[in-house]
A = this chain, B = another copy of it.
C-alpha cells in the first residue's frame, strides 16, 4: 500500500468520525433519545427531562459533552459508576501516557532511521510505499540498529514504571473502596455447596448443626438454595405474566407521562408479594421428613447461603477447608445479592470442574475454527486472488479508488463484523462454566475474548498467508522470533488501517449507540410505544477491555517496527478516553461491582505485550546480525519477566482476597457505632432467589435500579417479549389446569 492510500483511509475515517460525533451531539439533545443517551442518569439521578419545545440550538452540533466528560473527577466517576469504570479509564490514562512517550521516541528517533535505511532516491512522500517507513527498509548488519535497541529500552522502562505506579494506585483505590463502601450482605455471607445428605435429618438441620458446631460463635443464620421445582416455576411464570401485563398496559394504554419511579415501586411491591407467597409454600413444606416431596426437594438443594455475624468470620469460613473431604462442604465467598447468578448456583458442585474443562476446550476449538474468516480477510489484501474468485469485478478493480478501498479499508471491516459474533458466544461459554456471580462470568468472558482477540487478530493475521502455511509455522516455536520479525513489518499496513477502522469507527459506534438508537426509533415512532426508558444495562467490559488491550499490544509491537501506527493510536486513546468517560457517566448503569479485579488481567496483558515486542525485536536483531543489540534485548526480556513476578507478589493478593486487618477494623467500627444489629437484620432477607428480575426488584428497594433497568440487552428482550408473554400465559393456564386436575 502506498502512503497516499493510507491518507485516503485516514481521510475517510476522520470525516466519518467528525460526522458521527456531530451527529451524536445533535441526537443527544433530542428528548425522545434521552433514554438512549442518558440511561444511567434517568435510572439513578432522577434526571429531569426538559419540556419538549423546539429550538434551533437542538439541531446545531456542539462540543459541550466533551468538556463535561473531561472535567468530571475520578472520585465522582467511582461514586456513580463503581471502581471498575475507574480502572477502565486508568487503562486509557496509562495508554495515553506511554504512547506519548513512545510516539516521541519512535517518530523522532526510529522513523528517520528506518526511512534512510537504504540508500535509494526517495521520491515524493505520498507516493512512497509504506514499507519504506518500517524496519524492513534497513539493510542487514546496519549500524543504526542501536537506535531501535535504545528506543526499546526507553519504552520498556517507562512502561514498567508507569505500570508499577498504576498497580499501586489502583490497589490503593481498591483498598479504599473496600473499607469505604457501605456494609453489603456479600461481606457477611458464604455460599456452601455440596452439602452431604443424610437420611434421618432435614438438610436445613444438617447445615445448622454443622455451622453451630464448628463456627458457633460467629454463625448467624442460613438460607437454602432451592432448585426450581414445578411449583416454583408456576409462581415464576405467574410473576412474569403479571409483569408483562403491567408493562404492556403501561406502554400501550397507560398514562402518557408518569414518573418511572412510581412504576418501579409498584412492580417491586407486587413482585415481593409474590415472593412472600412462594416463601409460604416453602415454609409450609419444612417440618415433615416423611413426605416424599420434601425428600425430593432436599435432593435438589445444591447448597445454602450462610450468614455470619462479622466479615472476618465469613472470610475465615470461606478460605479454610471445611471438611476432610474437599468435595463436601465447599465454601466460597458469596457475591453481592445483585451479583448472584442464580441459575448457576443450582448446578451441582461436582459438575463444575468438568464444565470448566469442557468450556476451555470449546473456546480453544472455536479459536481455531475462527481462522477461516481471518484467512479470508487476509486474502482480500491480495487483489489478484479476488480477481480470480470474482472475474466479473476485474474492470472495477482496475480503478485506483477501488483498489485503495479494497486493500485499505474493506479487510478490517470484514474482520470487525465477524468479530461481533464472538462476545455472545464467549459469554455463553462463561455462563455454562458455572460461575456463581455475574461479575465472575463477565471476568471469565473477558479473559476468553482477550485470548481470542490477541490470537485471531494479531497472531493469525501476522502469520497467515494461507491457512496451511500458518499452521506449519506454529509447530516450530524456536523459529517464532525470526518468523515474527520477518512477518510483523509486512503487516504494518493492515494494522494501521485496522486502528483507523476498528478503533476509530468502534468509538463512533459506541458513542452513537447505533443499535439502541434504531431500536428506540422503531419502538417509539413505528410501534408507537411511548417513553420506555429500559436502557440501563451495564458496561460491556468483556468486549471493551480486550479491544483496548489489543490496541495497546499493536502499539507496543509496531512501535519500533513501523512507528507510523503510533499517531493514529494516540488519537484513538485520547478520543476513547473522552467517549468512554461520557458513556460511563451518562449511559451505562452499573449493576454489579467487580472491585477492580480486571486490573491484574490488564497488567498481565500489557507485560505480555512488552515481552512479545522484545521477542520480535530480538528476532529482527538476529536477522539483521546485530549481536550486541540482541544481547541487550535478552537482558531486557529477563528484566521484564522479573518485574512482572515482583508485581504479582506485591499486589495480586490484594485483588483476590481481603485482609484480616481491614475486615476486623470494619467489623469493629460497625459494632462500636451500633450498626451491626441493623446489618444483621437486613442480611436475612437480602438474598431472594427467583427470576433475574425478581432479585433485582428487591435490590431496587435499596435504592437500586427499577426492574426494567436490569435486563442484559434491551433489544433482545424486546424481540422475545411478545413471544414470552404468550408462552407465559399459556404456561400459567396449563399449570392451573394441572393443579386443578390433581386436586
A interface vs B, CB < 8 Å? Answer: 175, 214, 315-316, 319-324, 326-327, 329, 353-354, 357, 474-479, 642, 645-646, 649-654, 657-662, 664
Contact: B475 with A650, CB < 8 Å? no
B residues within 8 A CB of A316? 316, 320
Q: How far apart are A652's CB and chain B's nearest CB, in angstroms?
A: 8
Partner of A659, one of B321, B475, B659: B321
Please give me the residue from chain B that is nearest to A175 by CB atom. B324
| Assembly stoichiometry (copies) | 2
B649 touching A326, Cβ below 8 Å: yes
A349, chain B: closest CB distance, angstroms: 10
Name the residue in A175, A353, A660 with the highest tally of chain B Cβ atoms < 10 Å from its Cβ: A660
Within the complex, what minimum Cβ distance (angstroms) separates A303 from chain B? 17
Find the B residue at minimum CB distance from A661: B323
A/B interface sample: 7 pairs, CB < 8 A: A175-B324, A321-B660, A326-B650, A326-B652, A327-B649, A475-B477, A476-B476
Chain B residues near A645 (CB, 8 Å)?
353, 357
- Distance A354 CA – B642 CA, assembled complex (angstroms): 8
Quick check: A646 and B353 within 8 Å, CB to CB? yes
Nearest chain B residue, comparing its CB with the CB of A649: B353
Residue of chain B at shortest CB distance from A217: B217
Contact of A320 among B321, B642, B650, B660 (CB under 8 A): B660
* Cα distance A105–B664 in the bound complex, in angstroms: 62
**Among B324, B478, B662, contact of A661 (Cβ-Cβ < 8 Å):** B324
Is the pair B326, A658 in contact by a Cβ cutoff of 8 Å? no
Other A-B pairs beyond A323-B661, A353-B649, A475-B478, 17, CB < 8 Å: A175-B324, A214-B664, A319-B319, A320-B659, A321-B653, A322-B659, A322-B660, A322-B661, A324-B659, A324-B662, A326-B652, A326-B654, A327-B649, A329-B661, A474-B478, A475-B477, A477-B477
Bound together, the chains give a CA A649 to CA B193 distance in angstroms of 14
The docked-state distance in angstroms from the alpha carbon of A353 to that of B649 is 8
Q: Please, which residues of chain B bring their CB within 8 A of the CB of A478?
A: 474-475
Task: Name A317's closest neighbour in chain B (CB-CB).
Answer: B660
| CA of A650 to CA of B664, assembled, Å | 33
Which residues of B have CB within 8 Å of A320? 315-316, 319, 657, 659-660
CB distance from A639 to the nearest CB of B (A): 12
The distance from the CB of A194 to the nearest CB of chain B, in whole angstroms, is: 11
Q: Which residues of B lie under 8 Å from residue A664 when comparing CB positions? A: 214
The chain B residue sitting closest to A657, CB to CB, is: B321
CA distance A444 to B539 in the complex (A): 45
Q: How far is the CB of A140 from chain B (nearest CB, A)?
A: 23
Cα distance A56–B395 in the bound complex, in angstroms:
110
Q: How far is the CA of A71 from the CA of B364 in the complex (A)?
A: 53
A214–B650 contact, CB under 8 A?
A: no
**Cβ contacts under 8 Å, A653 to chain B:** 321, 326
Instruction: State whether B660 touches A214 (Cβ < 8 A).
Output: yes
Chain B residues, CB < 8 A from A659: 320-324
In the assembled complex, the CB of A592 is this many whole angstroms from the nearest CB of chain B, namely 23
Cα separation A268 to B31 with both chains bound (whole Å): 91
* Residues of the B chain whose Cβ atoms lie less than 8 Å from the Cβ of A649: 326-327, 353
Whole-angstrom CA separation of A646 from B354 in the bound complex = 8
Specify which chain B residues have a CB less than 8 angstroms from the CB of A642 in the assembled complex. Answer: 354, 357
Q: How far is the CB of A308 from chain B (nearest CB, A)?
A: 13
Q: What B residues does A650 contact at CB under 8 A?
A: 326-327
Q: Which residue of B lies closest to A658 (CB)?
A: B321
Complex CA distance for A208 and B645, rounded to whole angstroms: 32
A315 to B319, CA, bound (A): 10
Closest chain B residue, CB of each to CB of A178? B324
Determine the distance from Cα of A315 to Cα of B320 in the docked complex, in whole angstroms.
Answer: 8
Inside 8 A of A315's CB, which chain B residues have their CB?
Answer: 320
**Which of A214, A315, A324, A662 has most chain B Cβ within 10 Å?**
A324
Name the 8 nearest CB pairs between A and B, nearest first.
A475-B478, A326-B653, A324-B659, A321-B659, A353-B649, A321-B657, A320-B660, A175-B324
A578, chain B: closest CB distance, angstroms? 33
A479 to B, closest residue via Cβ:
B475
Q: Which residue of B lies closest to A655 (CB)?
A: B326
State whether A326 and B651 are in contact (beta carbons under 8 Å apart), knowing that A353-B645, A475-B476, A642-B354 are contacts in the complex: yes
Give Cα A449 to B286, complex, Å.
59
Q: Is the CB of B654 within 8 A of A324?
A: yes
Q: How far is the CA of A320 from the CA of B660 in the complex (A)?
A: 7
Residues of B within 8 Å of A326, CB to CB, are: 649-654
Smallest Cβ-Cβ distance to A361: which chain B residue = B638
**Closest chain B residue, CB of each to CB of A653:** B326
A354 CA to B649 CA, complexed, in Å: 10
A321–B319 CA distance with the chains assembled, in angstroms: 10
Give the distance in Å from the alpha carbon of A397 to the alpha carbon of B654 in the complex. Answer: 68
Bound complex: CA A695 to CA B198 (Å): 49
Q: How far is the CA of A650 from the CA of B323 in the complex (A)?
A: 12
User: Measured between C-beta atoms, what is the minimum distance from A442 to chain B in Å?
Assistant: 24
Q: Please indicate the chain B residues that have their CB under 8 angstroms from the CB of A662 in the complex.
A: 324
CB neighbours of A660 from chain B (8 A): 214, 320-323
- Complex Cα distance, B324 from A319, in Å, reads 16
Q: Chain B: which residue is nearest A641 at the CB level?
A: B357
In the bound complex, how far is the Cα of B214 from the Cα of A661, in angstroms? 7
CA A654 to CA B327, docked complex, whole Å: 10
- Expressed in whole angstroms, the minimum distance between the Cβ of A606 and any Cβ of chain B is 20
Residue from the set A316, A327, A474, A654 with the largest chain B CB neighbour count within 10 Å: A316
- Residues in B neighbouring A175, C-beta threshold 8 A: 324
User: In the docked arrangement, what's the CA distance between A649 and B330, Å?
Assistant: 11
Q: Give, as a whole number of angstroms, the nearest-CB distance from A594 to chain B.
A: 18
Chain B residues lying within 8 Å of A661, measured Cβ to Cβ, are 214, 322-324, 329
Residues of chain B contacted by A353 (CB below 8 angstroms):
645-646, 649
CA distance A474 to B478 in the complex (A): 9
- In whole Å, how far is A354's beta carbon from the nearest beta carbon of chain B? 7
CB distance from A649 to the nearest CB of B (A): 5
Closest CB of chain B to A622's CB: distance in Å?
A: 15
- Complex Cα distance, B321 from A659, in Å, reads 5
Residues of B within 8 A of A319 (CB): 319-320
| Chain B nearest CB, measured from A646 CB (Å) | 7
A312 to chain B, nearest CB (A): 8
Residues of B contacting A651 in the complex (Cβ-Cβ under 8 angstroms):
326
A677 to chain B, nearest CB (A): 22
- Output the least CB separation between A372 and chain B (Å): 20
A393 to B404, CA, bound (A): 75
- Most chain B CB atoms below 10 A, which of A316, A353, A661: A661
> Least Cβ distance of A634 to chain B in Å?
13
Min Cβ gap A77→B in Å is: 23
